[in-house]
């Protein structure tokens, strides 16, 4: 079964791209963690990418010490991604007929 058929059969329609890049602990530059997949081999050809979350060695170390990034807010790239994810999920969960959130992204 090819990827498109497998994803269609799974019922998945969207996802979160984790490890979308590596945030440099020294300068904050985000660089790719992995080479990009060919379009026919990428889940993002077939699924909506709700948000991309880059990896941060600092956030990982903080989390290992019991300090999640949404508490420390030490890695703005991750804070922004998680806040965007929360807004987008909230908007999707809005009851039918109810106005959706004012997310403008
Ligand atoms: Zn750097």
**Residue pLDDT, tens place only, 61-97:** 999 999 999 999 999 999 999 999 999 999 988 877 7
How far, in Å, is the centroid of ligand 1 from the Cα of 79?
Answer: 19
What's the confidence (pLDDT) of residue 99? 63
pTM (two decimals): 0.80
Residue 35 exposed, middle or buried by CB count within 10 Å (0-12, 13-18, 19+): exposed
- pLDDT value at residue 100: 59
CA of 32 to the centre of ligand 1 (A): 12
Q: What is the pLDDT of residue 105?
A: 54
What pLDDT is recorded for position 12? 84
Distance from the alpha carbon of residue 19 to the mean position of ligand 1, in angstroms = 17
pLDDT digits (tens, 9 = 90+) for 16-75: 999 999 999 889 899 999 998 999 899 999 999 999 999 999 999 999 999 999 999 999
3-state secondary structure of 49: strand
Q: Ligand 1: distance of its center to the CA of 53 in Å? A: 18
Residue boundaries of the structural domains of the chain: 14-93
């Amino acid at each position: 079964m090819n990827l498109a058929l497998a994803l269609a059969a799974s019922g998945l329609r969207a996802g979160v791209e984790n490890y979308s890049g590596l945030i440099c602990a020294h300068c904050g530059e985000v660089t790719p963690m992995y080479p990009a997949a060919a379009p026919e081999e990428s889940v993002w050809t077939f699924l909506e990418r709700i948000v991309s979350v880059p990896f941060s060695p600092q956030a990982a170390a903080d989390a290992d010490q019991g300090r999640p990034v949404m508490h420390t807010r030490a890695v703005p790239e991750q804070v922004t991604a998680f806040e965007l994810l929360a807004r987008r999920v909230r908007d999707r969960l809005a009851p039918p007929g109810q106005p959706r959130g004012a997310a403008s992204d």
